[in-house]
Structure 1
């Protein structure tokens, strides 16, 4: 297994890789060998049962040069997005094709490398994993992947059951979140296809407070997007899982304005924790959110505001959304996804058949 993701900060991609790696190791024990870059801390549940091999290399050198050599006699599994283009026998994960659909989001160097890598992986990988039916269709349309080589292994939602809601320190702002006025949670970055700027503008105009988790950056980043114009927004940066769980459980709604996702894990996290969801009718949202969210038309930010106001003013509507959301999120469990992963690996010839 490609364990480079264990050396990175946790986003939805790393969450996906961590949860599935943990279950794969628990099911198959020392048949699983996790190769990690130099200095990587491996979580106990993985280290206790799988074989861990720490390289003297790190970064791209580890992933693109060292790892293919180390795994040359085995099937290599990459769950964290990037994968080595030189590996001969591998199962790779392509969460989405945003570098093709939304190139304006990325630097020229980044999108050139990722486009080249994805094209090679689409041609050479024995199986390609992705996280939704929508994303599988995108891989077919953009990369010409044969649908028979694509396996949909979605995100789960039940990792949030381990969280202990803990009130975050937001510099005093959190004291105003209990005054009865509606406020929303946004989880995302200022990547252009995440559409966060448009949503915050609409919420600001309506006077609705927001807490934004994940939108980090230096002064230059915030200056570029004009973050100073949002007096109703609090930028919390990265929070712990427990702090995020408290926000999910306390917010009027999660506003998820992304125009393009492979899956959108904050949606099912919110639903499982009883937070109503307002998202856009774009990408995989109808598939992932089911009937447990209010879906608004892209390009109509006033619909987002109206949905938040209705949820705040109508307790029965809120309760119905919460119930539908919990029911929808229950469809997505990591054990069920691990079952699908096992099937994909078996189709690629792992674990090998043994005789006694």
Structure 2
């Protein structure tokens, strides 16, 4: 079985979707070595990457931002023109090209509908792209049951398959926890990520807890200015305990998650919530929200509050910081929960979907 797979998300700063594609490819290749009959034919839609010599696999000479419009208007070119003969086509990031063979499109969430003002024009086009994929017969891959239900409601999609992303097993931090408790949050500074809520909550708990620190890890997004303003409004002694770390590589990301006292994921909406599962696998307690798919993914292994409730978030963080028993419970429950998600299962589940087309 030969599968054309969109590798465009691997280019540039690695986001959650890039992690998904990288781990899927790695896990499929591992299964291929075990005798599974599958060959991945990656393709890339980025003109800039082509110019820099960083394309993954075959290059499709259409800018990613215009691909949906081109494919909708002209019903082509078919992907086989660029990658050769295939049995299945998998669009990993909302877009799937025309093909004479079965097509699968991965939809990670519908955040572009929830924040239309914050969404950029290319992201807003994803609504039409998903609708076009469904209307032309593509099967939809959703990364959670929550997202699957949203897709069915929005697009009346007749065939939606749920396959969860995974997480690697990982040991707890080998470094002793510092004397100062550290709250870590990961994500782009977008409004839906709730980082501004966390800063406000941190301002409340840091008045009583004179040593707690907040580390914000991730690139700048549409809420960057407001994030900086909120930090600037904190008393100087508290603002000094907020570290803006920016983008980090995978190794440092894993280390910082494992070393954290609490992983805080205050998002208003998630299609899955990968940092939640990563922290659980690392033995780090999680405080998060009930936004989107998070309750489905976290189960009873995290302390959850309503999205946007700053007082409740501050109370939950204080509870975990001060109660050793609840920390121990969250650590063990988190490890048990994370064991349900593996990249091998993700690859195997998607290969089962590919097989169902043949």
* TM tier relative to shorter chain: 0.7 to 0.9
Q: Distance in 1 between matches of 2:37 and 2:129?
A: 31
TM-score (norm 1): 0.81
Superposition pairs for residues 123-202 of structure 1, below 5 Å? 123-146=135-158, 149-158=159-168, 161=170, 178=178, 180-202=179-201
Q: Does 1:103 align with 2:107?
A: no
Q: Distance in 2 between matches of 1:113 and 1:62?
A: 9
CA gap 1:104/1:87 in 2 versus in 1, 3 angstroms: farther
* Alpha-carbon contact 1:271-1:326 (below 8 Å) kept: yes
SS, match of residue 83 in structure 1: coil
Q: Does 1:228 align with 2:232?
A: yes
* Alpha-carbon contact 2:78-2:100 (below 8 Å) kept: no
Q: Distance in 1 between matches of 2:184 and 2:137?
A: 38
Q: CA deviation at 1:135?
A: 0.7
Superposition pairs for residues 163-312 of structure 1, below 5 Å? 178=178, 180-207=179-206, 208-216=212-220, 222-225=224-227, 226=229, 227-230=231-234, 231=239, 232-312=241-321
Q: Does 1:76 align with 2:125?
A: no
Q: Distance in 1 between matches of 2:310 and 2:65?
A: 43
Deviant stretches of 4+, over 6 Å: 163-167
Structure 1 match to 2:209: none
Q: CA deviation at 1:275?
A: 0.6
TM-score (norm 2): 0.81
CA gap 1:87/1:268 in 2 versus in 1, 3 angstroms: same
2:26 aligned residue (3, 17, 22): 22
SS, match of residue 183 in structure 2: strand
Q: CA deviation at 1:346?
A: 1.3
* Alpha-carbon contact 1:2-1:63 (below 8 Å) kept: no
Q: How many residues align?
A: 321
Q: Distance in 1 between matches of 2:58 and 2:37?
A: 18
Q: Does 1:339 align with 2:337?
A: no
* Alpha-carbon contact 1:186-1:255 (below 8 Å) kept: yes
Structure 2 match to 1:34: 42
Q: Distance in 1 between matches of 2:253 and 2:174?
A: 8
CA gap 1:221/1:124 in 2 versus in 1, 3 angstroms: same
RMSD over equivalenced CA pairs, Å: 2.7
Q: CA deviation at 1:165?
A: 6.6
Q: CA deviation at 1:58?
A: 6.6
SS, match of residue 104 in structure 1: coil
Q: Distance in 2 between matches of 1:166 and 1:5?
A: 32
Q: CA deviation at 1:286?
A: 1.1
Superposition pairs for residues 341-356 of structure 1, below 5 Å? 341-349=350-358
Q: Distance in 1 between matches of 2:308 and 2:232?
A: 23
CA gap 1:85/1:333 in 2 versus in 1, 3 angstroms: same
* Alpha-carbon contact 1:166-1:246 (below 8 Å) kept: no
Q: Distance in 1 between matches of 2:174 and 2:28?
A: 30
Q: Which runs of 5+ in 1 are unaligned?
A: 43-52, 168-176, 350-356
Q: Deviations over 1:208-242 (max 9, x none)?
A: 4210111426xx96434424335132110011222
SS, match of residue 295 in structure 1: strand
Q: Which runs of 5+ in 2 are unaligned?
A: 71-76, 207-211
* Alpha-carbon contact 1:259-1:283 (below 8 Å) kept: yes
Q: Distance in 1 between matches of 2:62 and 2:138?
A: 25
* Alpha-carbon contact 1:104-1:192 (below 8 Å) kept: no
* Alpha-carbon contact 1:213-1:236 (below 8 Å) kept: yes
Q: Distance in 2 between matches of 1:63 and 1:165?
A: 43
